[in-house]
Amino acid sequence: MTSGANRSGQRLELHGARALVTGGAGFIGSTLVDSLLRLGCTVVALDNFDPFYPGKEGNVRHNLSNPKFVLLRGSILDAEKLGAAMKGADVVFHLAGQAGVRYCIENPLKAEEVNAKGTLDVLQAVRRAKTVKKMVYASSSSIFGNPVKPMLSESHPQNPTSPYGVSKLAGEKYCLAYHQTYGTPVTCLRYFSVYGPRGRPDQVVYSFAKRVMNGQPPLIYGDGKASRDFTFVSDIVEGIVRVVDRVPQPNPTWNSNQPDPATSSAPYRLYNIGNSHPVELLRYIEVLEECLGRKATKTLLPLQPGDVPDTYADVDELIADVGYRPDTPVEVGVRRFADWFVDFYGYR
């Protein structure tokens, strides 16, 4: 999808556009880069190659010879590097951040510095660049914390229970406040349990696969019956690309006495993005075992700080506005992940 009409009649043509992807060598970032290059964008990927996620070089190696791809090594906290990456950008996809709920519990100051201050730094660079027509910010379902009900709409109360969730919510609020003040259109997307090839080593499916292939029992925190809205990475990227086409408009009926958290009197929009088909954790592991061709005895452990009960995304708003339709069932997505995992780590 390169362009098309939206409810406001405005559109942003991606073909031929210059796109900046912060965190562009990461899991979702590198997959987004591939999609943008196929759409005819010139893509600048800014990534600091943090050792928290080793091996990211392999995520972008296949694009290094592409004349439309530029890889810059640097942090969003480095104003000079960020300014160079932002130069001439038409659209900015801000995916860089400190991931990992448990890692951020142990390193809350880093979560705040990268996810909150880093997002503010990106917003400042957008303002200085003056060429950016649209920004997309990667948020997280972690901002909800312990849910009042499992199916989470954009208006569900936001009560994050971890430093990671707080830091991502702070990024959302900076986006809203910044664009109320300066006016550049921004869309925030709250990701739900993304998985797939190139995944981070701290992710659930990655750690399960590694232990199964090494003959170790997968570690399950809780009874394994908690459900998650496991969303395949290509479905996430499809949604990211689609929201670019819909340039958010101010909501003329927005009322501060009864605020709609998904819109604003400024050009701002917020959506949940997920599969909207929750799967029990034990079923997820069962599918992974089938795909890997191995069975393993599970080890059940107490819930850890930051863990939440069943959650899944209400994506009706995203469907209505941009036609988002996640179409990768967990059986297909886990098979694609397992094939990549076995090949990448040489288990065959």
- Residues assigned a catalytic role: 164
Sign of the Cα torsion 335, 69, 125, 256 reads negative
Measured at the CA of 101, the angle between CA 308 and CA 43, to 5 degrees, comes to 120
- Report the alpha-carbon distance of residue 144 to residue 342 in Å, rounded: 34
- Kindly give the pairing relationship between strand 279-280 and strand 227-228: antiparallel
- Report the alpha-carbon distance of residue 127 to residue 289 in Å, rounded: 48
Count of CB atoms within 10 A of residue 51's CB?
A: 7
Contacts of 269 (CB under 8 A, 6+ apart): 186, 187, 188, 243, 246, 248, 262, 263, 321
Contacts of 207 (CB under 8 A, 6+ apart): 201, 218, 219
Measured at the CA of 316, the angle between CA 14 and CA 254, to 5 degrees, comes to 85
Helices (H), the chain: 27-38, 57-60, 79-86, 101-106, 108-111, 118-129, 163-182, 204-213, 233-245, 281-292, 316-322, 330-344
Name the strand (E) or helix (H) holding 305: none
Measured at the CA of 192, the angle between CA 171 and CA 125, to 5 degrees, comes to 25
